[in-house]
Amino acid sequence: MGIVAWIVLGLLAGFLAKFLMPGNDPGGLIITILLGVAGALLGGFIATKLGYGNVTGFDVRSVGIAVLGSLLLLVLYRMMRRKPA
């Protein structure tokens, strides 16, 4: 997939991840988009290393992998941004 397709996939993944994990996150839409793009790349990398094949097309499987990567990054982001008790 080209870089533009990864950005579009990341945008979609970021919105879906935010929908699945709603909350009051600092950064808003920009952070969601960046986490989505990074999550798409991370999800594709992990899926390839685990033997699920290359993420070469824009299909349901690649969107699912990108959303899972985005959810992982969103959880990590929330853990890092958590205020000390």
pTM score: 0.75
Which pLDDT does position 82 carry in this prediction? 72
13 contacts 31 by C-beta, under 8 angstroms: no
Question: How far are the Cα atoms of 5, 28, 34, 44 from residue 78, in angstroms, in the given order?
Answer: 27, 13, 14, 22
Q: For residue 42, what are the contacts with CB-CB under 8 A and spacing of at least 6?
A: 69, 72, 73
The single-letter code of the amino acid at 9 is L
Which pLDDT does position 41 carry in this prediction? 81
The single-letter code of the amino acid at 45 is F
Q: Where are the domains of the chain?
A: 3-81
Q: What are 14-65's pLDDT values in tens digits? A: 788 777 777 766 667 677 778 778 887 888 788 888 887 666 667 788 778 8
With a cut of 70, say whether residue 10 has pLDDT above it.
yes
